[in-house]
Structure formats: C-alpha cells, structure tokens
Amino acid sequence: MYNLRFRQVHLDFHTSPHIPKIGISFNKQKWQETLKAAHVDSITCFAVCHHGWSYYNTEVGERHPHLDFDLLRAQFDACKEIDINVPIYITAGINNWAAEKHPEWREVGYDGRYTGRAQNVTDSGFHNMCFNSPFLDFLCDQIREVAGLFPNCDGLFFDIIIQGQCCCKWCLKSMAEKGLDPTSEQDRKLHAKMVLKKYYKKTTAASRELNPDMPVTHNSGHVTRGDRDVLKYLSHLELESLPTGGWGYDHFPMGAKYCTNLEYDFLGMTGKFHTTWGEFGGFKHPDALRYECAAMIAYNAKCSIGDQLHPCGELDESTYKLIGNAYKEVKAKEAWCKNVQSVANVAVLSSVAANSEHPREEDSDIGVTRILLESHILFDIIDAEMDFSKYKMLILPDDIVIRHDLKKLLDAYLAQGGKLFLTGKSGLNADETEFLFDVGATLEGPSKFSPDYILPNKDLRANFVDSPSVCYTRSYRIKVTDGESLGDVYDPYFNRSYKHFCSHQHTPNRLDPSGFACAVMKNKVMYLAHPVFIMYRGFGAIAVKEYIVNCIKKLLGDDLSLTTNLPSTARITLNEQVAENRSILHLLSANTILRGGEVSLSGGNLSRAGNIEVIEELLPLYNTEVTLKTRKPVKSISLEPQGKELAFEHIDNVIKINIDEFTCHQMIVLHH
C-alpha cells in the first residue's frame, strides 16, 4: 500500500494567458521558509492547468506565454531540498488550450452542443474534452513527458475524470461499431463507461511506462461507493470535500467511513477558501481549518488543504499562517493516527454501492450518515464486497435493491447471528408485494396517503411527543402477524388536492389508528415502513430522528458499545492501532452555522450567493462522559498529545471516563 504523508497542500494554479509576468515573485528561499513554517510535508504542484498551459519546459504542449522559466522545476527542486514530497498535477477532462487548437476533440452533447462550463461562445469557463478523441493520445504524450522529466516525483494527479454521453464523430463511430444506438440514453451511458475505462487504462499505463511504481490518482471530485473497477488504477484515494464549497461538514465523514475499509491510504481534501476553488483572497476562519484537519485524522485520513497560487508565484503569507495553525496540531497527533483500523458496531450498506444506477450521492445514504453521526453510534459504510461479519448490525437504508447474490450474503449474515435493520423499500421483493425476510408482518403495498402520521410505542417515540407526528414520505402498509408491533400509523382524512384540502399544508390525522404498523421487529430483524433516512435528510425533524435512533438502539440491545453525553453537534470515532496495542477515541466538537443568503451577483464565477456552512469559533465542552465496552482489558488511559493520564472506572469489560474540558479535538488513548 502506498503511504501518504499527513500534511499536504493542493496548490491550484489555473492561470489565464492574459495575466503577465507569471512566476516573477518566485523565490526559492522564501518558498522553502513558508512551507516549513506551515509544517507542510507534501505539496501538489502544477504541470498543466485547466487553461491548458504548461508550467515546465514542454515539447508536447505549450508553456504559459508569460512564463519565461521552468516554474515547476524550480518549485520541485526547492521542495525536494527540504524533504517535502511533490505530486504533480495534470489536467485531464478539461483543457482550453487543446480545445482551441482542436475543437473537434471537445465533448459534444446529444443536443449537438459542446459540453462544459462554457457552452456559448461568449461564456467564460472551461471546455470538456472527449477521451474517445485523439485528445487522449495527446494527454498520454503529456503524461509520458512529465513522468520522464520528473521521475522522482511523488505521484501524478489527474483531474476532472468525467466522460459524458458524448456524440462527437469519434463516439458516434465507436457506438456504431459496438452496435450501440446513440438515440438511446442507456446506450450512450454504456458507451461513456467504456470510454472512461479506456482512459483509465491508457493514462495509468503512460504514467508507469518508466517507473512501474509511480503513484497515480484520478480525481472526479468523489470516490464512488461500490465502484471497485476504478480502484486498480489508483495508488491511493483523495476525498475532495470542501465544507464551504457546497459539500457541507457531513460529506467528508460519509466518504471516509467507506474508504476506511478499502486497502488504500486516503486523504481528505478541504480548502483554505471561504467558498471553493478559484477564490483568490478568500480565507476561512483558522478555527474552521483546525476542526477540518482534526476531523480528517479522526476518520483515519491524511490531510490535504487546497490553495490557489497567485500568478506571481509567491505563496500567500496569510494563507500559510492559516495552514500552519492547523498543521502544527496535526503534526503533534500523527503518532496516534498511523496504521489505524476503524472499530464499529454498525455497518450501513450504501444505496449508491448497492444500486448501480443511483447518482453519486443518494439521499438515503446522506440521511443515515447524519443520524448515526449525531447519535454517536459507531459505524462504517460498506459495499456488498466487504466483510459483513465484523458488525453486530447492518442497516439497509430506504431503497436498497436486494438481488440474488446480496440476498444470499444477508441470509448467511443473519444465520451467523447478525441483525438487520430495514427501512422503506429495502427488504421488499422487486414487485413490492412481499418481504424477502421474515419480519413478522405481511406487506400490503404502498399507502395511498402521503403524508401520514405515526405514533411509535412509548419507549421509541421522541421524549417530547405523545401524539401522532407527521411523516413527510409515503409509507408501506404492514400488518403485524407474529412480530412485535412498534407503533401505529394514523391516516389523514384525505390527501390534499383541488377537490379537498385543509389549512396551509396537509390534512390532519384521523383520531383512530389505521390498523397498520409503523414498524415491526421479529428476532434479529426490524423493519420501518417509511423511508425514514430520506425523510430526515430532507426535513431534519428531531422527532423523526429520535424515533429512528431509539429503534436502532432497541435492535442493537447489548451490542451497543458506546454511550456519551456529547451534543448532537459533536462527533466521536474509535480506532485501533493493533501494532501498538492501543485504541484511540477521537472527540470532535464544533458549532457550524449557515451564513450568507440568496443574493444576485455579477462577475467572477458565481452568479448567485447562497448559504455557506461556516465555523467561526470553537467553544469548549465541559464534563464529557463516555461509557465504552472494550474488547480487550485496559491498563491505563491517557489524553494525547498532552501525555496526561486519565482516571477511569473499569467494571468487567466496561470503562467509564470523564473529560473535564476539551476544545475542538481530543484524543483519548486506551492502552491495552
């Protein structure tokens, strides 16, 4: 496995040909001093940017017209002198220089228009290239050139690895040869996958022509859960997830909880920007970057912070003070974050991984991730190729399609004593006429009402609700037979329509229950009749969350290994360092808040402003209690990196600890 360093910078350098004096302020000594002061140990530097310009002496492409020296070589040599790694960036999916030289290489949509961020001739933005055109050969020539000139670089980073449903002349010819119909969206998507596979094979081979061990990563802004065919072309993973760039603060944990079970080292990629990439002069608060880096190492990742180098070539002083503030803390904590394994009670079988036609992010996955993070239940996210037996319970959120092979795996898991938590469509046959598992109830199809209301049993409902609460998504009708009913569904008087409606939103509930259950449990299987995770993702109702969490805990029973009084805004993870015979609890806390709003703008690449999730201050938490069932005896507990021993209660295999105070991030190390 290729091992990454902990403290990386991804140094964007997409530079217009209309800006003069490129690199004029580059100074080797100042460059080195700035990076050392910021505790940076790896930095991705640019060979070729989205504008298509090269920043090294090239014979394949064209050096930026206002750059009069080999800037990449100067940056590279300066870093290597002080033991800083240098992966090299090459744009792949978009290249404006190549698009202008060869417009026939551009990707063409089914509507006959060029694709990309600049479709009209007067639009500002980048052009998508087709990997099925001769552009791919040109790109491979660039890759071979860079790999030959910088054989001791620390990897090649390829960006914007996306192939759309292209209908350029090469794609039309290729589809005809393969018997595919370009008028069929399904065939166009299938062909795009074929083209993308060709891209991965050819570019990875070009990267490793001289050095078979050259690290390679292909970035499409995401690691798609379950898409394992791509992994063989990667040496490691980079999870692009800028919280203020539209991803939010719960996006990265969702990716990390999946990647932690892949046999690849991975890093999280945030940015120093207030918004997202390409923002000159934008700075997030130092406390936000501290929290984001702490979260990366808590979720078993290494760190990468995105920056954008000014065309003059000088690193920005304010930016690297900001980065250094965060990386100083990461450096002090690395010893407890190397070679770790996640410890979890629960696994979520990802909807994206199980259903190949799903988009890259599915509402059910997002909803279940938020529920588990906020309720401090230890969990991983898995695909069907991962080991189910490690977990006490599997959650299949809302819309998992259970095909024959998956059904066999789940049956074997149940036979071995595992527990199954099913919601919405998950657990139903393809026709939605019966259950695939014995849940102790019969299925009578989808409800004709939406929304409806539920009144869970007293021990399962929210502690502030004793009357039917609205469920915003359509349920399935279930009649309990030999299972345990977990509550009642109450129907509305009627659905809202032009014929009959009541008040501003929906019709109130009838006074008597419908005779259908909202949830049922039999032995080690529980089923909830609503797609509750999609509902929580969409509406964030606390009453819904407490109902879901109480149901999860009821099914888990004694297998729930951790409880804490942390607030829902805090996060907790548990990792194990087997070689050091110790476990590490990570406590994370930050208050995020939505700032900004809908405002029309002009100029730049943003036409409208919107809400941005920000962290401005980190407030201390006091008297944090954690109770943990441990798999190994605990000899001592310490707070790290402070090196302070912590008192604890130890009864049988249960430990109880209390943290008087912590801010942002605290590691609690259990020495076995």
pLDDT (tens digit, 9 = 90+) per residue, 360-410? 678 999 999 999 999 999 999 999 999 999 999 999 999 998 999 999 999
What is the residue-averaged pLDDT of the chain? Answer: 95
The secondary structure of residue 2, as a DSSP letter, is P
CA-to-CA distance for 119 and 255, rounded, in angstroms? 32
pLDDT at 596: 77
User: Does the structure show a pLDDT above 60 at 93?
Assistant: yes
pLDDT (tens digit, 9 = 90+) per residue, 615-645? 999 999 999 999 999 989 999 999 999 999 9
pLDDT at 359: 59
Give residues with Cβ within 8 angstroms of 591, minimum separation 6.
Answer: 569, 615, 617, 619
pLDDT at 120: 79
pLDDT at 608: 54
Give residues with Cβ within 8 angstroms of 68, minimum separation 6.
Answer: none
pLDDT at 224: 78
pLDDT (tens digit, 9 = 90+) per residue, 240-256? 999 998 899 999 999 99
Q: What is the CATH number of domain 563-671?
A: 2.60.40.1180
CATH class of the domain whose range is 346-560: alpha beta
- Reported confidence tier of residue 611, pLDDT bands at 50, 70, 90: confident
Residues in the chain: 672
Q: Per the structure block, which two tokens stand in for 14? A: 């997409």
pLDDT at 631: 86
CA distances to 308, 444, 520 from 426, in Å: 44, 15, 14
Q: Which H or E run includes 189?
A: helix 185-207
Q: What is the CATH number of domain 1-87+218-338?
A: 3.20.20.80
Q: Domain map of the chain by residue range?
A: 1-87+218-338, 94-133+161-214, 346-560, 563-671
Q: Per the structure block, which two tokens stand in for 206? A: 């070009």
- Reported confidence tier of residue 358, pLDDT bands at 50, 70, 90: low
What is the arrangement of strands in the sheet containing 341-342, beginning at the earlier edge strand?
341-342, 570-577, 582-589, 665-671, 636-640, 644-645
User: Does the structure show a pLDDT above 70 at 335?
Assistant: yes
Across residues 282-299, what is the average pLDDT? Answer: 97
- Which DSSP string corresponds to 624-666? EEEEEE-SS---EEEEETTTEE---EEETTEEEEEEEEE-SEE
What is the arrangement of strands in the sheet containing 469-471, beginning at the earlier edge strand?
469-471, 452-456, 487-490
Q: Per the structure block, which two tokens stand in for 400? A: 């998992």
Helix and strand counts by DSSP (H, E) for the chain: 14, 34
Asked if 225 contacts 265 with a C-beta cutoff of 8 angstroms, the reply is: no
pLDDT at 226: 79
State percent of the chain over pLDDT 70. Answer: 97
* pTM, entire model: 0.95
Q: Which residue is associated with the tokens 């790999």?
A: 147
Rg, C-alpha atoms of the chain: 27
Give residues with Cβ within 8 angstroms of 643, minimum separation 6.
Answer: none
- Reported confidence tier of residue 63, pLDDT bands at 50, 70, 90: very high
CA-to-CA distance for 521 and 110, rounded, in angstroms? 49
CA distances to 361, 532, 547 from 537, in Å: 12, 9, 14
- Reported confidence tier of residue 602, pLDDT bands at 50, 70, 90: low
Backbone angles phi, psi at 557, to 5 degrees: 55, -130
pLDDT at 123: 82
pLDDT (tens digit, 9 = 90+) per residue, 151-208? 999 999 999 999 999 999 999 999 999 999 999 999 999 999 999 999 999 999 999 9
Q: Is the peptide bond before 641 cis (omega within 30 degrees of 0)?
A: yes
User: Does the structure show a pLDDT above 60 at 601?
Assistant: no
Asked if 486 contacts 518 with a C-beta cutoff of 8 angstroms, the reply is: yes
Cβ of 238: how many Cβ atoms within 10 Å?
24
Q: Per the structure block, which two tokens stand in for 586? A: 């990570």
pLDDT (tens digit, 9 = 90+) per residue, 477-530? 999 999 999 999 999 999 989 999 999 999 999 999 999 999 999 999 999 999
Same CATH topology for 1-87+218-338 and 563-671: the answer is: no
